[in-house]
Structure 1
Amino acid sequence: MTSNRVKGPIKPKISTMPRNKSEASQQLELYKLITEKQRIQKELQLMEQRLQQLKNRLTVLNHQIDSTEQTIQDLRQANPTIPKMLHPSKPIAQSSNFQAFYLEY
């Protein structure tokens, strides 16, 4: 399982020794900047894909929740003989008609 720690700002890679200002050193610096830019763009693209997957899954789950809740309501209306204690939204009536039975196995 991956950890969900918050990472700080992305810091650029630094060289151990400063280079002399030359065309070659500037070309190297340009290459490093371009590759870092490409890496970050790719990472952002992957994050956007993952975000879309999560949003799609939430949509499906919300639909399933609504459908299941509607099915429960339909079943309650179709079969009113279900004991009151199975309906959490309805208060349980206090009754002195308590019946008990024992099962032997």
Structure 2
Amino acid sequence: MHRSQARGRIRPKISTMPRQRSEAAAFLNIYKLVVEKKRLEQELKSLDERRKQICDRIAVLNQHVGNLETSVDQMRATDANPKPLPTPTVQSNSEPSDDFNTVFLDY
């Protein structure tokens, strides 16, 4: 599983060498900021889509749980007199053995 960095403030990427103050350096910084902004907007959009998918799935699961609970309640109502469990019948082998007994349970 992919582990991301600890959640917190998003830190800007830092170059190892500071650039000289010039018009080109300023445009480069503008470009880097715009690219980072687009990346973050795309990430936010994908997170919103994923959140919507999760909410939709939760709604479907809640509906299924509700349907199953309703069917269980209906089964309980129709089975007001539950059937008793059958009693097991014990049959021993026709040839008695000292080592063990055979038991047959009918359900």
Cα pair distance change 1:61/1:11, threshold 3 Å: same
CA distance in 1, matches of 2:83, 2:36: 65
Unaligned runs of 5+ residues in structure 1 are: 85-98
Cα pair distance change 1:74/1:6, threshold 3 Å: farther
Count of paired positions = 93
Root-mean-square deviation (Å): 2.8
> Structure 1 residue 6: deviation in Å?
4.3
2:40 aligned partner: 40
Cα pair distance change 1:19/1:56, threshold 3 Å: same
CA distance in 2, matches of 1:14, 1:25: 14
Cα pair distance change 1:4/1:101, threshold 3 Å: farther
CA distance in 1, matches of 2:6, 2:89: 58
Conserved 8 A contact 2:89-2:105: no
Are 2:18 and 1:7 aligned? no
Cα pair distance change 1:6/1:77, threshold 3 Å: farther
> Structure 1 residue 8: deviation in Å?
2.6
- Normalised to the residue count of structure 1, the TM-score between the two structures is 0.75
- Code of the residue aligned with 1:19 in structure 2: it is R
CA distance in 1, matches of 2:16, 2:61: 51
Larger CA Rg, structure 1 vs 2:
2
Q: Larger relative CO (CA 8 A, sep 6+): 1 or 2? A: 2
- Normalised to the residue count of structure 2, the TM-score between the two structures is 0.73
Cα pair distance change 1:46/1:27, threshold 3 Å: same
Are 2:39 and 1:18 aligned? no
CA distance in 2, matches of 1:2, 1:83: 53
- Code of the residue aligned with 2:21 in structure 1: it is K
SS at the partner of 1:11?
A: coil
